[in-house]
A and B are shown apart, each in its own frame.
Chain A
Amino acid sequence: MEMKFSGEFTVDIPKEKVFALLSDPEKFAPLLPAFHSMEMKDAKTAVISARVGIGKISGTASTELVLEKSEAPHHARYTGKGKVMQGAYRMTASFDLEDAGNGALIKWQGETQLVGKILSLAGGGMKGYAEKEINKLISSLQTALSPDSATAPAAAKPEGWFGRILRGLGGESEAPTIGETESPPPSPEEVQRARDESRKRISSVLDTSRRDAKPARKEDDRLIKGKGLFVDDFSPAGLLHMSLVRSPYAHARIVDIDVSRAEALPGVVCTLTGKEVMEMSEPFIQIGAGSPQNITDYALATDKAIYQGDPIVAVVAESIAIAQDAAQLVEVEYEPLEVLTDVEEALKDKVIIHDETGTNATFHGIYEYGDVDKAFEEAAHTVKIDKLFFHRFGSTAIEPNACVATWDQRGEIDLFSNTIMTIPLVFIAPALRINMDSIRLRTYDIGGSFGNKITNYPYLTLACLASKKANGAPVKWIETRAEHMLAGGHGSERAYLDTEVALDGDGVITAIRSRHIDDIGAYPRYEPLGCAIWSQVLPGAYKLRNIKIDFNQAVTNKGPAAPNRGYSRLPHIWFMERVIDICGHELGIPPDEMRLKNYIEAFPYETPNGCVYDSGDFPAMLAKAKELIGWDEWKKKQQEAREEGRLIGIGIGTTLDSGTNNWGQARYVNPDAPFSGNSTAATVKLDLDGMVVVSLGTFPQGQGHETTAAQTVAEVLGVSPDLIRVKTGFDSLNDSHTAQSGTYASQFAVTGLSAAHGAAVKLKAEMTKLACFALDAGEEDLEFGVGDMGPQVSVKGADRAVNYWMLANLINSNSAALPEELRDLSLNARHVYMPPFQIPDVEKKIGNLTLTYALQLHISVVEVDPDTFQTKVLDYAIVDDCGKVINPMIVEGQVHGATAHAIGAALVETLPYDADGNAISGSFTDYAPLTISSMPDLKCFNRESPSPFTFNGAKGMGEGGGGPLHSLCAALQDALHGKDIIIETSHNSAMSMFDQFSNGKAKGVNVASR
């Protein structure tokens, strides 16, 4: 926790006298709150003992206070550090003095970093405590500085010095002022005057001159005007609202449910319990073979709650307020059961979460390539790593999961939601016992997803059932943020156990063997696909050929996992990057050299499991990133800092963002899965009025699909993208989808644009045929472009043209003259793009699993406080290569966003559980997603290695591969150099590092060499 305070006050004595007091530690220290005793170490250093306490918690703090800077008579700066109550803190305080009449103006700033158990003991009380203590210090100062220090404090009141608090890690900025204390309350007239001035200032900013300009992206126009249509903005007539009763227990039998009081509340329409859901629907399809097939997953819990937040009862009412009131009146009797929060414990099957399966394991498979045993026999060095751990976090899109479902009297469902794939249809339709075509699935604007929303289908199903029970009224369900944090889809955890790495005498890795376990929380849902998907990046960026990973997955009593930006591959790359850095650390090889020895050199490169890395150049990316960050200068600064006892670290992360799945890999988790390849559809039509209209089968959530699809289609037709209309969002009525359509797995630039391109080419061919007829010309004489009549087809070198409306008219309203051979045209072209994939060898787990690999190289520089472990990112460089760039602005935006997510995960964001299965980060305030205060500036560079496998040379990108998780963990390890510390977990907040390292930690790594 880091807190910043600042303020100013005046006193009636000259600044020279003030300075004399403030710059003398012996006089200044006794003014500190709770001062108990002091010993001067030297003229500038006081060792102070103080009694501190918050509520019932108290202890003695020992602080070493150093006068670090003293510039008479205007500036003094102290630093202090010490330990208190199983924690540590570091503070700085500085004073700047100015003349103010006959007295002095004292401007002061203080900063405190605090870490350790004291925080969890004191909880939210810490901030208030710190403020109170600072109050006391300022009061003491004023008393000491008053002309007659025996009398009351000087008349001047401290002003504006209360409460500027910094959250997060960056330390560069502060949150808004939260309030003033001791100033007298302003009079109503003063308030009114301030208000009027404030309104006036805003008016003048609003009344500014404007210019005629259009937005940069097609999407922006509505979004910057507040005219987007997110799910919660959609309110059809007769709308009802659904609120859920969720389990407070992580594992409990449901003994009894009483909804009578809830149903009696005026305005309540109906309730739904698990028992009714069982009658009205089927359990959801399970993807995995074996035990997962026995899991019964309904839209509501039936006999047991198996995680905190498991939905038990749905309440439907005329307003959300009534629904929430009624939910409070539902009485559920639970019988708590033993809770599993540790995945290794879960695998022992002593407690079973899904009774019907008899096991908690949802997958086990061995991925073995090359000759691993031989490589270990021949190894010059073997590095053993006991355990690495990738933590649970989520992308927490700013718009929560949501839907409006209407199951009307015809038996047709209109499902307006923010899901991001057509796959949910495949889950929802059978569960509701209806045809897929009976569901109109549609989206419009979606407020981010990052994969998480793939698993909102149980709630979509529930809203449909609620609508049915409410006689076909539309039912809206908007997840609250608290619900999202418990149940909205977490990224899964992964443990890497008993890892062994074989290296040759030169530091080249020849083999890895390891055992991995994914903890996916309560329900598999989209899992166990993650048990195959990681292997898209099996060797990471490295050329080793011998790999054996024993891969396991199990359920626990935690929130169900969902795909999360970098899904399954990111945790594996993190593992590979840790392996590289740990081996380099143990063998004394610098991290850049270690990478250069091990990087894959030539592309296309076929990995040991048959994946084909399409293009790129890792060494060139590393060289460029080193240049961007100023590697040599930072190395020099690092050395100087180390001599001063400061901890600066520099870390590299090399990562891959694999895009466009071969769904054949689903057969690794279920050999009978009827999936392979990939397919995405789009339609491009020439509409009745001659407008070119594009319908995509994708579910954009901010990636700018309308903009880039318009660019692609416009290029085919030789017109401006402004003349192309791209429909917003997904609508199954557009018929532009396949079962694999969606916005997932970094693929739009390949799948979505290939489909749109293919459809545009087909439409152009039809338009060409029609134009030949209309203009009585040959194909080779035609030219597409824009003329006086708008977009048109003309005859080269002649004054003959037909515009798009005329062409559309020939099919849609003026067809009698058309010759027979043109009567099979529709001007509504649909194209399904299918990348050239083969079905993988399921036995050997060999096959090309993704079409493209975007590459990223990140370098970060951090400084770690040696006592509090607070980390500041000092510098950050990124080199990105996603092949041919379609829209540089959009690509750069994705790079920034992916970087922010992984910085947040590495240093701030985590979803921990206690042993009883209570979610500790149950709100945004606890989770504290990365804010602008904590986000470092990024230095970005783009390389272009066109993919040989796509029509446009582009590669899918956007997930980003989690570069900062890799580079920051590497930088932290580098910063802690000399302490013999190995970074073994992906989450390294100050708190986490303090817990791990403050009392020394046995290093779980050893090396055997021969």
Chain B
Amino acid sequence: MSNTMPVEITVNGEARQREVEPRMLLVEFIREELRLTGTHIGCDTSFCGACTVLMDGAAVKSCTLFAVQADGAEIITVEALERDGQLHPIQQAFSDDHGLQCGYCTPGMMLSSLALLAENPTPSAKDIRKALAGNVCRCTGYQNIIKAVQTAAGQLRGA
């Protein structure tokens, strides 16, 4: 498996060029090649969503794509949410509403939530449940995650 392919993937606004094995997953590219370890791996069947990132504006499970499939794409990971030392409202809301405990699923949860909020600024609890159905959290029982997404939606609307 020594064959490699060149890719250029824009991650958090920065174009990154690498030679990668065709079998390299996008999540491996992000974690191992770029050392952005905020994107996590929790299963191997695309079930848990811990690896969720935004690709060209859509929430995707980065364990379900090969890096070569993201060639030319724009990727946003959790590391891009904070700016100038200030938290994004989704980060603030997850913390304020205690929407995280161990924090392992949180980056994926927040990015799936942002994809929802970009499409729907006033999501109902049902909309949130629908949008986050592919993200598993084993700590919170989801109650405070729903609350956090609603809080963030309110802050984004008021912004």
Contact = CB atoms under 8 A, between A and B. Distances in A.
Contacts of A321: 1, 21, 23
B43 interface: yes
A543 to B, nearest CB: 32
A482 B115 CA distance: 29
B41 A202 contact: no
Interface in A206-248: 206, 208-213, 215-217, 219-230, 232-233
A167 interface: yes
A480 B48 CA distance: 13
A230 B42 CA distance: 12
Contact of B102 (A199, A448, A482): A448
Contact of B40 (A195, A201, A219, A230): A230
B56 A702 contact: no
A932 B145 contact: yes
A912 interface: no
A968 B16 CA distance: 52
Interface residues of A, number: 82
Contacts of A938: 141, 143
Contacts of A937: 125, 143
Interface in B129-144: 129-144
Interface residues of B, number: 80
B105 interface: yes
Nearest to B108: A398
B54 A202 contact: yes
Nearest to B58: A198
Interface stretch (A93-101, A113-121, A171-179, A547-555): A171-179
Interface in B79-125: 79-84, 86-89, 91-92, 94-96, 98, 100-107, 110, 114-115, 117-119, 125
B103 A482 contact: no
B57 A199 contact: yes
B88 A195 contact: no
A395 B54 CA distance: 28
B57 A202 contact: yes
Given A202-B54, A703-B101, A932-B142, A210 B87 contact: yes
A893 interface: yes
B110 to A, nearest CB: 7
Contacts of A224: 78, 81, 87, 91, 94-95, 100, 103, 106, 110
B86 A220 contact: no
B11 interface: no
Contacts of A183: none
B102 A173 contact: no
Given A199-B57, A205-B156, A447 B104 contact: yes
A199 B10 CA distance: 12
B133 A176 contact: yes
Contacts of A376: none
Given A173-B129, A226-B107, A924-B43, A213 B92 contact: yes
Contact of A447 (B95, B102, B142): B102
A226 B126 CA distance: 27
A896 interface: yes
B101 A199 contact: no
A225 B81 contact: yes
B37 A220 contact: no
A702 B145 CA distance: 15
A481 interface: yes
Most buried by B among A204, A227, A893, A929: A893
A995 to B, nearest CB: 25
Nearest to A701: B102
A216 B96 contact: yes
A1002 B132 CA distance: 42
Interface in B12-42: 21, 23, 31, 36-42
Contacts of B31: 232-233
Contact of B95 (A216, A701, A924): A216
A294 interface: no
B50 interface: yes
B150 interface: no
A225 B94 CA distance: 11
Nearest to B21: A321
B71 interface: no
Nearest to B124: A173
B107 to A, nearest CB: 5
Contacts of A220: 94-95, 100, 103
Given A198-B58, A216-B96, A226-B107, A923 B43 contact: yes
A400 B102 CA distance: 13
B77 interface: yes
Contacts of A372: none
A703 B103 CA distance: 11
Given A448-B139, A703-B101, A232 B106 contact: no
B138 A395 contact: yes
B9 interface: no
Contacts, number: 250
Contact of A206 (B45, B80, B105, B133): B80
Given A201-B118, A896-B140, A935-B141, A206 B76 contact: yes
- Determine chain B's interface SS by DSSP, over half rule: loop
Contacts of A170: 129
A704 B140 CA distance: 13
B136 A924 contact: yes
A719 interface: no
A968 B31 CA distance: 41
Nearest to A226: B38
Nearest to A902: B141
Contacts of A933: 129-130, 133
A206 B131 contact: no
A109 to B, nearest CB: 14
A925 B86 CA distance: 37
Given A172-B129, A209-B159, A228 B114 contact: no
Contacts of B125: 937
A897 B140 contact: yes
Given A201-B119, A398-B48, A702-B101, A226 B141 contact: no
Contacts of B146: 932
A641 interface: no
A897 B139 CA distance: 5
Contacts of A447: 40, 42, 102-105
Most buried by B among A447, A898, A923, A932: A932
B79 to A, nearest CB: 5
Contacts of A893: 98, 101, 139-140, 144
A395 B79 CA distance: 29
A417 to B, nearest CB: 15
A89 interface: no
A861 interface: no
Nearest to A485: B43
B68 to A, nearest CB: 15
Nearest to A266: B2
Contacts of A230: 37, 40, 104
Contacts of B47: 923-925, 928
Contact of A211 (B1, B86, B126, B156): B86
Interface in A599-628: none
A899 B144 CA distance: 13
A702 B103 contact: yes
A351 interface: no
A480 B103 CA distance: 19
A226 B37 contact: yes
A445 B76 CA distance: 23
A574 to B, nearest CB: 19
16 contacts: A173-B129, A197-B57, A206-B81, A208-B88, A208-B155, A210-B89, A213-B87, A217-B95, A223-B106, A224-B110, A226-B38, A321-B1, A399-B42, A445-B103, A931-B136, A932-B135
Given A208-B159, A224-B94, 9 more contacts: A202-B57, A215-B95, A226-B81, A232-B37, A398-B105, A450-B138, A893-B101, A896-B142, A925-B45
Closest 10 CB pairs of A and B: A226-B38, A198-B57, A223-B103, A447-B104, A702-B102, A702-B101, A900-B141, A896-B141, A226-B78, A173-B129
